[in-house]
Amino acid sequence: MAVTLTPAAADRVRSYLAETPGGIGLRFGVRKSGCTGFAYVVDIAKAEGPDDSVFETDGVAVRVDAASLPQVDGTEIDFVSQGLNQQFVFRNPRVSAECGCGESFATS
């Protein structure tokens, strides 16, 4: 499988990369958090990690560390604008439960 970006997400990441000297792609992963287990971590990657898996969509690299990959493999990252709100949305087929506040998730 892979981690993919929609065209809207790829465009948004490209704009962030243009503003970030030394940016080489998007770093996507998880950290332990909340009542359910994991929270997404998204940042601009400035260096290659020794255990990164790299997935490319429309020329934009998404880097995922080995510890995060089992929880995010298969995720589609979108960028959605609704009224004045803009945010990344994660469509992760591995999610089996989410907390009520949307802070964290569990995978099966």
pTM greater than 0.95 (yes/no): no
Above 90 in pLDDT, residue 36? no
Q: Place 98 in a pLDDT band, splitting at 50, 70 and 90.
A: confident
Could you tell me where the beta strands, DSSP code E, fall in 6-108?
25-33, 37-45, 53-57, 60-64, 76-82, 85-91, 95-98, 105-107
Supply the DSSP string of 25-50, one letter for each residue.
EEEEEEEEETTTEEEEEEEEE-S--T
- Residue 86 belongs to domain with CATH number: 2.60.300.12
Say how many domains are in the chain. 1
Q: Residue 70: give the domain boundaries.
A: 4-107
